[in-house]
Chains A and B, each alone.
Chain A
């Protein structure tokens, strides 16, 4: 009788008829991952520097040295290079290449490919190139500095760097070994294949890139001739799903195997759901607070000191950032050589008030901008609340990541709240940006250095200590040097590390061997297996 009810009934009926079978399972030999992959802009290993792009390249390429997915703590391991040897004066390293490895194209992996890959990255000079050029390579000299013969590859360095420093840098994605013949067949002009590699793979890794649709999906298929054995998962599909709640629903319903961006509350709920488990792993990203020294109020040492006591470390990590971050008050993340586990500061408004009162500071107002990500705006609002108790007013404006970064690089963010992710698995990656700033003038334009962005004039002896640590051959001594730097940093620096990121991946119960990459590298799929 009623048109509307009829139609609704019809719609419902059809929805039921078309509904997928409840609690469907993904195929036994496929790994289906949901995460946010909208940051990928290229897949050329010489250029890609985004988290999701690295996640792809980690699996499609091999490097001279790589991490073992089953034991990241063991550090870099032989991969395409079977062994290596440093010269006596420490200024050159010679790698012996593994025999019989082939690229996805079928071409053999030669020392020539490895040398060319590094030379190519230096010559293209894209953003991550500094990871290699810090050893003295330039587009002009790289052909002489990196040489090869039939079975070996030699790197000539400009100083006697710590061997661990050099090899850690070679685990970075920019050091991926690409298939020279294949790439040069697809080069346009003098781009060394940069355009072609943006959407294609020329690697020898355990997975072959089967497709990437921006903001949508990445598909990988197993490389059956992989030199360490073909991986168990024959297909890996990574879909871009940005909402945590959507990821959780998909996981609980069995539509996906792994959910990588669960919010704390969703992860808590997933942990209790049937057929699903949560695996925690610390990642390398540090959430820190940068106090811009161009700001009159924030450059006051008393304010810097007081701010350290105005962060509710406990409260935040047990509520808004629960399961996403742990308190970590030094700039080297746990998992790195020389990481410091000391937490000198606690949430103490009274103490902060006292510090401010002793310095004769009565109130003050700061306006800052924060990237419009829930984690950052929530921390900013919590800080806003505790600063208010100490008589300091914090005004917050939300902006997109691009806008905030723009202002930050122009030294225009009074209080920066955000994350820093290490670029490679060596402690220098953070030390060289947090604790190194040789020229603090505007003209220096050292936009890549966090210290410079916050206008922090790093003391000369700290600059020197940071440099010296890169050339210390004894790893124990090296670790000690970094710890000393961090202690001094905690005492005086206006850049205050607060938390370290942990990844809580939601997994279907039958997924084993998931490796998100820990603090030092990117996700590794080849160890994943599925039980019954």
Chain B
């Protein structure tokens, strides 16, 4: 959601020198060992994630029982709820119980919505995914060409524009931009739909299949609902897209510059290839792999970074869900949400690592 977050994610894509260990005798054994190691470290990361969240939840001075029983409860009612929630067990027992339940696929019941956390997440996560996906698409389709053109015309007007655009993107408070955008494009101009995923009147008209509203509308063949949903998502997605664009265009530019200064490019130019062919045919093709990594990371940071956007746009997504839950002391929901976001983040990192290994000829 901010420059530092995206950079933080970006920082991971350089393989650290420590990874380059001397080659082991058997490649397959090495690979098996590496996969085992990856899985183990994944499991440890997730366990740590849960532990930290769990501890925070327990030291937090918010009483989850009160949320359940409400302010007029008597002490006896309070105690009954306290016991029913298993809070009288020792902390370690609570944690182990939780882990056991999670492994069995039971994330518990949310106290702020009164429903199973798993069902809640099934409902809110697609909303976040939809938003982040569209945001990333905008970031890619604008950011990549912009970065390439900027690199090709280094120091030119487009390069300058791209630079300013990126720096401004790193500098605007997203919640402020969101408020202003809503005011201008919805309130004054009426070009886009308002807060929420769709006009209220369309609520429940389209059966939920994937949870991605745009996709569901297409499946149902309801063009009106699709138009409505699109008009609602386009503004928040464009905002997120702008931040994604700032990052992607900068990274594309720097990858391209590296390629354009390489020898093969000079050779191609000498051979008389058109500049267009050199840029798109040769150089661009070579940056595809690192670019995919950058896009994956940018997607990850939008998944986790859309909290404020979701709040501004009343977007019923995971970020808003977890924030609400947190402020209500609803730790089952917070833990569930954290696990989902953490898993996505770890998975995206793993994916980009794998892409590196599979696609990059140098690493095999």
Contacts and interface: CB of A to CB of B under 8 A. Distances in A.
Contacts of B142: 3-4, 7
A405 B200 contact: no
Given A237-B203, A403-B62, A18 B234 contact: yes
Interface stretch (A126-134, A224-232, A324-332): A126-134
Nearest to B67: A402
Contacts of B329: 402
A2 interface: yes
Given A20-B193, A41-B67, A406-B62, 8 more contacts: A2-B158, A30-B201, A127-B69, A199-B115, A215-B320, A403-B61, A405-B63, A447-B74
B108 interface: no
A189 interface: no
19 contacts: A4-B146, A4-B162, A14-B234, A18-B192, A18-B227, A20-B190, A20-B227, A24-B199, A30-B201, A125-B77, A214-B110, A214-B115, A241-B314, A249-B182, A402-B62, A406-B62, A406-B66, A447-B73, A447-B75
Interface in B146-199: 146, 149, 158, 161-162, 165, 179, 182-183, 185-187, 190-196, 199
A18 B196 contact: no
A14 to B, nearest CB: 8
Interface stretch (A250-258, A300-308, A374-382): A250-258
A30 B202 CA distance: 11
Nearest to B162: A4
A240 B67 CA distance: 19
B71 interface: yes
B145 interface: yes
Contact of A402 (B72, B191, B231, B328): B328
A26 interface: yes
Given A199-B115, A216-B316, A246-B194, A41 B68 contact: yes
B191 A215 contact: no
Contact of B72 (A11, A128, A215): A128
Nearest to B241: A11
Given A2-B158, A127-B77, A32 B200 contact: yes
A448 interface: yes
A20 B66 contact: no
A38 B231 CA distance: 25
Contact of B228 (A20, A128, A213): A20
Interface string A386-411: 00000000000000101101100100
A41 B158 contact: no
Interface string B71-83: 1111111101000
A135 B314 CA distance: 44
Taking residues whose C-beta sits less than 8 angstroms from the other chain, chain A's interface range is: 35 or more
Contact of A4 (B123, B161, B187, B200): B161
A19 interface: yes
A405 B62 CA distance: 9
Question: Which size class do B's interface residues fall under?
Answer: 35 or more
Nearest to B60: A403
B191 A19 contact: yes
Contact of B191 (A15, A24, A199, A237): A15
A26 B227 contact: no
A183 interface: no
Contacts of A210: 204
B77 A126 contact: yes
B114 interface: yes
Contact of A198 (B69, B114, B187, B227): B114
A131 B324 CA distance: 30
A406 B158 CA distance: 57
B73 A217 contact: no
A38 B192 CA distance: 25
Contact of A215 (B61, B63, B67, B113): B113
A41 B112 contact: yes
Contacts of A32: 200-201
Given A41-B67, A127-B72, A241-B314, A255 B194 contact: yes
Nearest to B194: A250
A32 B67 CA distance: 28
Contacts of B201: 26-27, 30, 32, 237, 255
Nearest to B72: A448
Given A210-B204, A215-B321, A127 B70 contact: yes
B186 to A, nearest CB: 6
Contacts of B70: 49-50, 127-128
Interface string A115-156: 000000000011111100000000000000000000000000
A66 interface: no
